[in-house]
Structure 1
Amino acid sequence: MKKIIFVGGKGGVGKTTCASSIAFIHSKKNKVLLVSTDPAHSTSDLFDIKIKQQDELYKYSENLDIMEIDGEKEAELYLSKIKRQCNLMLSPVIMGEIQGQLNKAKNSPGTYESSIFEKINKIITGNQSYDYIIFDTAPTGHTLHLINLPKSVNIWMNTLIKKRRKILMLKNMKFKKKDRIEDDRVLDILEKRRDNLVKISEILGNPKIVSFYFVMNPEKLSFLETKRGIKSLEGYGIKVDKIIINRVYPDSIDEFWQEQKNNQQKFIEFIRIEFSGR
């Protein structure tokens, strides 16, 4: 199995620069895919390339491919998939009522995250030729929600499966039928969805496959958000492997900045003590 690296952190700390640097370094000896999930894509700007269509691979070099995920497009595809499945299972009358709700769902909370997660799932499970897949993620809160999504959705899916089985059993009893519950199309879709969630949850929870890097700047607000983010991930059973301190003043600096450089060094030492062992 390939190595997957999520690069996260507070907005504006330099995640894209760090994720791109990591991808570029690994591409010298390995096949690498760099994926941006941040709505404010700047990966193409950093590499000075023009990606004609998002969600498609751009071959930057022999070993480095780049992709920027279009969240709005993925949300439309996600809802279109749901509509197709509903059309196969529901009557035109019921489908007419659901159609309006699905159209409204595009802008509802959770749809964007669910569609992005669907895309990440496809990328991870469908691109076996890469040695490394590196995700340049959106700011911390968005990333934490994505990581927790499969677990929370899986609980919901199990509830739906139990209710569907109960409905089918009662239906058989009422109409004295002996239909095989396992042949039900709705149940089949729900169970396949659950199995996919279990699979991706196992991958994301495997420290041999997945690493999380947090990017931060040597300043208080960035430090506090990083600390909260690490605590949240550990609550999900996920360990943060590396912390990258970005935007550090160079040793050769003008005297005008020297005092700020000295203060920054003190804070860096504090960060190293707080996050010792990473």
Structure 2
Amino acid sequence: MYTLFHPNKLELTPYLFFTGKGGVGKTSTACATAVTLAEEGKNVLLVSTDPASNLQDVFEIELTNKPTAIPIVNHLYVANLDPETAAKEYKDKVVAPYRDKLPDAVINQMEEQLSGACTVEIAAFDEFSSLLTNKEIIHTYDHVIFDTAPTGHTLRLLQLPTAWSGFLDESTHGASCLGPLAGLNAKKEMYEAAVQALANPDQTTLFLVTLPDSSPLQEAARASKELGEIGIKNQVLMINGVMKSYVKEDETSTAFYIRQQQALSSMPGKLKSIPTYDIQLAPFNITGIHNIRHLFDEEFSNNNHKETFSRKDAPNLHTLIDDLYERKQRIIFTMGKGGVGKTTVAAAIAVGLAEKGQRVHLTTTDPAAHLDKVLNHNTGNITVSRIDPKIEVEKYQKEVIEASKDQLDEEGIAYLEEDLRSPCTEEIAVFRAFANIVEKANEEIIVIDTAPTGHTLLLLDATHAYHREMERSTGEVPLSVQQLLPRLKNPKETTVVIVTLAEATPVHEASRLQEDLKRASIMPKWWVINRSLYATHTSDPILHGRSRSEMEWIELVQKKSNEQYVIIPWKAKNPVGYEMLKELVKNTKEAH
């Protein structure tokens, strides 16, 4: 057990950055830290650069990109920067000079190239760079707290001289993942000062927010290493949502506690050298000042834990599988952010269809999927393959660099190598591997764990038609990919299933994913709410409180999915192997 976190236990620097996977509690911990410091008399500015920010819900007040005073917390000001708006402005500025000079097809391609997550992140970096280097801000506030930090990829890219050389503006090989960066040249000095401030341990502390679960802990270790390599070494690990005790008579409570302890005992070695603090699992959502003030409490009030609440009826997983079977779907994608259980849902769908006598090929990018028992099932109806994203990306990077090495100097190659570490690159590389599997397996139903975003699909689609302009950034698109894109957009053949949790960040991110897919003319048919405490009927006071807080997010999913959703209860044991997955499909009860 680690020390419980409280801001007054640390010597805090002026700038505090909170980073971590979606859904780990970055916003909750950033807000609670800001409120605590403000109520101690410090002048505090809390800033979110997260496109899915829910700061307005947390503080129950309308926010803008200008600091807004929080009426019932003296000394606290909050700004909600919208990087997507900033990204749009940036895109318009970059594309404008080319509008009358290049064909519409190329302009459309440039606009799509600038519509991805990388451009949003560079726009967010632009927003908080101005705050990090603003002398007025520095003199006005004791602490500036950022909800969401830049990734190591973005920081490394900005530190490369080639990013500022303007060579992209003159290149005939198209735009990078971040688009032509020449437009940022005027801000070079500000960005350099921002990077220096981030690396200065007297100015900046990086809080790595994680959960007591293996996947977020691995992600925290990766982020720690990546950011440490570029000089951001003043790091603190915050393990959020730690269950301190359990109810022995409650199977869910006992299993929940044991699973957390197992994850913590096998925590990556990289994290063990970082100062570490716990935050207890709270029995409430972090909305409203009252709840924010109590997040760092050592004991929670459980006066209302026996309160009953009505449960929404929701179809279980076999309803979704029946629909796929009746509509004769041939390609099924599960999509969602990391950590929501896409692999488990994909495997359960494969087992459900196999039980109906269908031949199914399940392919996953999750190296820890433990699906060997599915392979060994004696019905022979399921085959399984694994795609290693690392291998696919390395193979793809080599292809693109090989094709460009005669046209770029040493600096240009270094920039290209960093650019090819972007999320877009991984999506394209993995999608090519998926396409090859689909091409070879036309006699089976294909269930694919993870798919590219709408942005990447549009990029690939445009590249299919205009690859000459864009071959530097996306390479030659194989025939298998060209043929798969139209199939993916055909609802008579393909279904996209969005997987989420009944929590704020996963639902907001799933909603953005749905909008992104719509841009690529793909409409997800089903949503799956995975690992729902609401559906377990747990009596544990903390977990019961959490289950009650799921209700608003279940209602939002019901609306977003047009009532095409299912709920999978949180399970005491991870559903691994054919028989357990079969039980998940067969015996999931409707919530009532």
**What is the TM-score normalised by the length of structure 2?**
0.36
Match of 2:119 among 93, 106, 111: 111
The correspondence for 1:42, drawn from 44, 48, 54, is 54
Q: 2:230 matched to which residue of 1? A: 236
Instruction: Kindly state the Cα deviation for residue 132 of structure 1 after the two structures are TM-superposed.
Output: 1.0
In structure 1, what is the equivalent of residue 187 of structure 2? Answer: 193
CA distance in 2, matches of 1:47, 1:247: 21
Query: What is the alpha-carbon distance in structure 2 between the residues aligned to residue 98 and residue 105 of structure 1?
Result: 15
Matches of 2:125 and 2:274 in 1, distance apart? 31
Partners of 1:242 and 1:65 in 2: CA distance: 24
Q: Specify the alignment match of 1:120 in structure 2.
A: 128
Deviation, 1:103, is 5.2
Secondary structure of the equivalent of 1:227?
Answer: helix
Per the alignment, residue 87 of structure 2 pairs with 75
**How far did residue 67 of structure 1 move?**
1.4
Q: Which residue is 2:25 aligned to? A: 14
Alpha-carbon distance in 1 for matches of 2:99, 2:255: 67
Provide the residue aligned with 2:38 in structure 1: 27
Given that 1:7 and 1:137 are in contact with CA atoms closer than 8 Å, whether structure 2 keeps it comes out as yes
SS state at 1:34 partner: strand
| Alignment gaps of 5+ in structure 2 | 1-12, 171-182, 276-592
The structure number with the bigger radius of gyration is: 2
Letter in 2 for 1:208: D
Deviation at 1:190, TM superposition (A): 7.7
Whether the 8 Å CA contact 2:133–2:193 is kept in 1: the answer is no
* 1:78-118: CA deviation from partner (whole Å, max 9, x where unpaired): 3455579x6xxxxxxx7732797475564256432222111
Counterpart AA for 1:247: G
Write the distance in 2 (CA, Å) between the matches of 1:156 and 1:133.
28
Aligned residue number for residue 202 of structure 1: 196
Partner of 2:15: 4
Asked whether the 8 Å contact 1:230–1:240 carries over to 2, the reply is no
Shift of 1:214: 0.7
- 1:264 alignment counterpart: 260
Structure 1 spans left out of the alignment, 5+ residues: 87-93, 164-188
Q: Does the 8 Å CA contact 2:210/2:220 hold for their aligned counterparts? A: yes
From 273, 283, 289, the counterpart of 1:276: 273
Q: Distance in 1 between matches of 2:215 and 2:184?
A: 42
Note if contact 1:72-1:112 (Cα within 8 Å) is conserved in structure 2.
yes
- How many Å separate the matches in 1 of 2:146 and 2:99? 37
User: Partner of 1:66 in structure 2?
Assistant: 78
SS at match of 2:238: strand
Say whether 1:214 aligns with 2:208: yes
2:157, 2:163 within 8 Å by CA — same for their partners in 1?
no
Distance 1:99 1:209 in 2: 48
| Residue 263 of structure 1, CA deviation | 4.3
- Distance in 1, matches of 2:226 and 2:274, equals 18
Task: Provide closer, same or farther for how the CA distance between residues 270 and 106 of structure 1 changes in structure 2, counting only shifts above 3 A.
Answer: closer
Equivalent residues of 2:201, 2:234 under 8 A apart:
no
How big is the shift at 1:191? 6.6
Change (3 A) 1:106 1:236: same
Other structure's SS at 1:275 match: helix
Does 2:50 align with 1:57?
no
In the alignment, the residues of structure 1 paired with residue 165 and residue 215 of structure 2 have an alpha-carbon distance, to the nearest angstrom, of 39
What is the DSSP-based 3-state SS (H/G/I as helix, E as strand, rest coil) of the residue aligned with 2:79? strand
Structure 1 counterpart of 2:101, which letter?
A: E
Secondary structure at the aligned position of 1:229 is classed as helix
Kindly tell me: are residues 99 and 76 of structure 1, through their superposed partners in 2, closer, same or farther at Cα, counting changes over 3 Å? farther
1:194 shift after superposition: 2.7
Partner of 2:101: 97
Change (3 A) 1:98 1:218: same
Distance in 2 (alpha carbons) for counterparts of 1:124 and 1:99: 40
SS of the aligned residue for 2:78 comes to strand
* Deviation readout 1:154-175 (Å, 9 max, x if unpaired): 4421465xx9xxxxxxxxxxxx
Determine the structure 1 residue equivalent to 2:473. none
In structure 2, relative to structure 1, the CA distance for the partners of 1:191 and 1:250 (3 Å cut) is closer
Percent identity, please.
26
Length-normalised TM-score, structure 1: 0.72
Q: Distance in 1 between matches of 2:99 and 2:68?
A: 39
Question: Structure 2 residue aligned with 1:156, among 151, 163, 186?
Answer: 163
Name the SS for the 2:77 alignment partner. Answer: strand
Give the Å deviation of 1:34.
0.9
Q: 1:254 pairs with 247, 251, 254, which one?
A: 247
Cα RMSD, aligned residues only? 3.2
Q: 221-230 vs 101-110, which deviates more?
A: 101-110
Distance 1:224 1:114 in 2: 25
Matched residues, number: 237
Q: Which has the higher helix share?
A: 1
Q: Is the 8 A contact 2:37 2:44 kept in 1?
A: yes
Deviations 1:191-244 (A, max 9, x none): 743322322221121111111111111111111111111111122122152111
Q: Which residue of 2 aligns with 1:134?
A: 145
| Equivalent position amino acid for 1:212 in 2 | L
Which fold has the larger relative contact order, with Cα–Cα distance below 8 Å and residues 6 or more apart in sequence?
A: 1
Q: Is the 8 A contact 1:114 1:149 kept in 2?
A: no
Q: Which moved more, 1:205-214 or 1:72-81?
A: 72-81
